[in-house]
Amino acid sequence: MMLLLLQIALLLVPEVVHCLNQDELSLPALKFAIETDQTRIHDFWSKSDPTPCHWHGVACTGNQVTDLLLTNKRLTGYIPSELGQLNSLKRLNLSNKNFSMPIPAHLFNVAALTSLDLSNNSLVGPIQDQI
């Protein structure tokens, strides 16, 4: 639902649509899901950038997000299901945060995901069978 609303909003602003590809539209959902960012790292994540591949904690291959490594940042919030749209994501490290809520099942739609670290969070709920 959140991704649909984000996509509709981005369609209303054409210059933003040209900057981010479909795969990378998930990253603003993570920025939105973060309630507290004491390090203010996401202040520099801008939709108007030509690519998020230069954003702190984001690494890409061929302009596709392959690594999202946000370790030891003082963040609170939740893990958005839209991260499951990052089809080329291989490594996801969101350890040592204060993320809450369940791990979204959509996260495991990413077939390329080989490394996942969500340790030291306040996640709740059952562990998905896909893990």
* Helix ranges (DSSP H) in the chain: 2-11, 14-17, 27-33
Number of compact structural domains in the chain: 1
Residue 122, class by beta-carbon neighbours within 10 Å (0-12 exposed, 13-18 middle, 19+ buried)?
exposed
Residue 129, domain member (yes or no): no
Question: Which residues, other chains included, contact 86 with Cβ-Cβ below 8 Å and sequence gap of 6+?
Answer: 23, 24, 26, 27, 65, 68, 110
For residue 26, the domain's CATH number is 3.80.10.10
Tell how far CA 28 is from the center of its chain: 7
Give a yes or no: residue 111 inside a domain: yes
Parent domain of 51: 2-123
Q: Is residue 128 part of a domain?
A: no
Mean pLDDT in residue range 108-130: 88
- The predicted-structure confidence for 65-101, as pLDDT tens digits, reads as follows 999 998 877 788 999 999 999 999 999 999 988 889 9
